[in-house]
Amino acid sequence: MRGPGRSSGFTLIELLVVIAIIALLTALLLPTLAAARSRAGRIVCLNNQRQLLLTFAFYSEDHGGSVPGNSGGPMAILRRHWVQSTIHGANPGFTDPGALTDGRVATFAPYLKVPAVYRCPADRASYAVGVKKLGKVRSYSMNEAINSFPALPRELTEGHHLGVSSYQRIGDILQPSQTMVFIEVEFPSICWTYFDVPPDSGKDAFHAPGALHSRGSVVSFGDAHAEHHRWKAPSTGRLFESGAHPAQLDAADARWLRRHAHHGLGDQE
């Protein structure tokens, strides 16, 4: 109880105590809030890939069981793929939403008109285009074992490390619950529509999987489920030092990717 003539406001010591308590509570709550934000982003990413899987299934149903185009190389930009195929960097395929929603370049466009579905909410990469900074419109790529090689010139496919025929029809995927369809890809290694299956050694892979969700990424599978997979040695940030390609992968991570790319590769290991 304050004595006569004393102010009813806080004293300096009381104010400092309140500030200290607020700072302590903030320090205790921040990790919880950050974890909640991370989980929320992962949930959005899971839902994004589930929508892509539904679109993949709708496309196949409307095209007699065939799977969409999914290739790279010099001629890829002249063909229609599930989205517009492009090299990495500040190109329309990564800066223009039309690369996803324009039916003249993207076969998914008639089924899916929401550009945000193609981008992981944790992916904040952007490109400088003149005086503007444009956000990257796509974070996901399709497993290269799905309809990639037949669309490439023969000289670019012979001797490729995949070593098995690619899936041309949805019925070719014999182990759908174990075969990935879409995967997050690390910036800046993402480029063509496909995710390159790493070589046997696990060294010098062309693409690196993303690791924006607790050192892991969201991967979706042929039976229409999506899950989070944590990598042994995530590559986040390291590619900026060495350039877009190659990406150094841990051997165990490379094995996991091969095993879930094609049932023929899983049989070999």
In angstroms, rounded to a whole number, what is the distance separating the alpha carbons of residues 56 and 49?
10
CA distances for 145 relative to 101, 104, 182, 268, angstroms = 24, 24, 11, 15
Q: How confident is the model at residue 152 (pLDDT cuts 50, 70, 90)?
A: very low
Residue 243 reports pLDDT greater than 90: no
Identify the CA nearest to 113 among candidates 60, 55, 70, 62. Answer: 55
Backbone φ, ψ for residue 158 (5° rounding)? -65, 135
Count of Cβ atoms closer than 10 Å to residue 89 Cβ:
12
CB 154 within 8 A of CB 133: no
CB 260 within 8 A of CB 219: yes
pLDDT in tens, 14-66: 777 777 778 777 767 666 555 556 666 779 999 999 999 999 999 999 999 99
Q: Which of 1-10, 16-25, 73-82, 96-105 shows the lowest per-residue confidence on average (mean pLDDT)?
A: 1-10
Identify the residue with better confidence: 64 or 132.
64
Segment holding 128, helix H or strand E: strand 126-129
Q: Which of 28-42, 126-140, 175-189, 241-255 shows the lowest per-residue confidence on average (mean pLDDT)?
A: 28-42
Amino acid at 114: V
pLDDT at 8: 59
Q: How confident is the model at residue 202 (pLDDT cuts 50, 70, 90)?
A: low
pLDDT at 151: 46
In angstroms, rounded to a whole number, what is the distance separating the alpha carbons of residues 250 and 248?
7
**pTM greater than 0.85 (yes/no):** no
In angstroms, rounded to a whole number, what is the distance separating the alpha carbons of residues 62 and 64?
6
CB 82 within 8 A of CB 68: yes
The β-bridge relationship of strands 226-230 and 132-135 is: unpaired
Identify the residue with better confidence: 228 or 131.
228
Residue 267 reports pLDDT greater than 90: no
Q: How confident is the model at residue 198 (pLDDT cuts 50, 70, 90)?
A: confident
Q: Which of 2-16, 51-65, 249-263 shows the lowest per-residue confidence on average (mean pLDDT)?
A: 2-16
Residue-averaged pLDDT of the chain? 82
Amino acid at 143: N
pLDDT at 38: 60
pLDDT at 87: 85
Residue owning tokens 């075969």: 179
